[in-house]
Amino acid sequence: MKTTASMSRRPFAMLRSAAAGVACALLLGSVNAGLVAAEPQADQKVTDVQAPAAASSADTLQSEFLFDLVLERGPANNVGSPGVTRVIVPVAGGTFSGPKLKGTIIAPSGDWIVARPDGSSVLDLRLVLQTDDGQKIYMASRGIAYTPAGGALFARTLPAFETSAPDYAWLNNVVAVGVYRPLPGKVAYRIYRIL
């Protein structure tokens, strides 16, 4: 048995080495051929530039409007530890409204913000959305906010939704982006579903 095992290992090892050698030769041959073909002769002009493949509808980013979100802020609570500035802002209420759903923001909801040394902030918005027909949807949304020099506040978030309500279960599979929009005295985002 010992002889049979070593015999089967040896041919296998030889076969594996041979296959690896062939693969390396093919790879080196194609790489070298590609390098030679890629190098123009001194008197030859490079005119054949391959155009990138046309984008299909499957790989083009598309979106549709999901809803407008308007939040009423409560008083900010500054909390932190050495080297970290954290602000917790309760959401005192608000509304959301779109073609497929609308309702109000209910407690407990808030934004856990971490200010970074570069002046930007990491947003961590957690909301309970209650639809007009009494269903509850949890929305967790992380993002970045900053104000460029001489500009206005710029913020983008990535909302994710959770619900057991059958009429809104489709939200559980939605990839979305929230775009901040200025609204006096409120915090507002326009939420888009990425298709």
Contact criterion met (CB below 8 Å) for 193 and 173:
no
Given a cut of 50, is residue 195 above it in pLDDT? yes
Q: What does the DSSP 8-state code read for residue 167?
A: G
Element at 84 (helix H, strand E): strand 84-97
The token duo for 160 is 């994710």
The token duo for 183 is 């609204």
What pLDDT is stored for residue 53 in this prediction? 65
pLDDT in tens, 1-58: 444 444 444 443 444 444 444 343 433 343 333 333 333 344 444 444 455 666 677 7
What pLDDT is stored for residue 140 in this prediction? 98
Q: What are the phi and psi torsion angles at 70 (to 5°)? A: -125, 120
What pLDDT is stored for residue 17 in this prediction? 44
Chain-centroid distance, C-alpha 100: 23
Quote the pTM value: 0.70
Given a cut of 90, is residue 162 above it in pLDDT? yes
Specify whether the backbone of 134 is left (phi greater than 0), alpha (psi in -120 to 50) or beta.
left
Q: What are the phi and psi torsion angles at 51 (to 5°)? A: -75, 145
Q: How far apart are CA 140 and CA 71, in angstroms?
A: 14
Give pairs for 84-89: CB < 8 Å, separation 24+: 84/114, 85/114, 85/115, 86/112, 86/113, 86/114, 86/115, 87/113, 87/115, 88/112, 88/113, 89/113
Q: How far apart are CA 63 and CA 191, in angstroms?
A: 10
What would the mean pLDDT of 116-140 be, rounded to a whole number? 97
Q: How far apart are CA 119 and CA 101, in angstroms?
A: 35
What pLDDT is stored for residue 50 in this prediction? 56
CA angle 102, 105, 107 (to 5 degrees): 155
